[in-house]
Amino acid sequence: MSRIALVTGGSRGIGAAISTTLKDKGYTVAATYAGNDEAAAKFTEETGIPSFKWSVADYDACVDGIKAVESKLGPVDVLVNNAAIFTTLEMKPFYSIDPVEWGEAINVNLNGVYACSRQVVDTMKENGFGRIINIGSAAVTMGRPNYTHYVASKSALIGMSRSMARELGSFGITVNTI
């Protein structure tokens, strides 16, 4: 039986490449998407990888969505937290970012990682195995003008990943940011 991998934001771009690579390596893969039904349907048709629609920014949607994935495929062994908001963020100086825009970046790029990881970690602990891979950004090392909300969320993700790795390592679960 192959391991089950869930890739958030896994039906387009980098996420699609991650999803198809995992499938090619023998994993049973599920991909999430937040809004582009047409692209997700095309991805599923072309790859055979099922797509599940929910926003990772919505904690309850993550609870229900991961239950749906596990009901169809089985417990998640590998979680790739790839879903992120970047291109839809308005490029502007940090002093012009309103609280709603700030919250969107934090909710998707950071809270979404928490929400999805929280849903799979108990089963991973019980099984003595798990992989949580968080997709970071090179923008963290140099900053990126006019995207402070994005860079802040990805910077926090690094610290979160390090703490999670230390907490979960003894249970056979690795946590990494790439």
51 with 29: CB under 8 angstroms? no
Closest CA to 8 of 83, 107, 60, 67: 83
Collect all residues with Cβ–Cβ distance below 8 Å to 131 and sequence separation of at least 6: 77, 78, 79, 173, 174
> Given CA atoms 178, 162, 84, 39 in this order, what sign does their dihedral have?
positive
| Catalytic, out of 27, 33, 147, 150 | 150
Active site residue 150: yes
How long is the chain? Answer: 178
The residues that are catalytic are 150
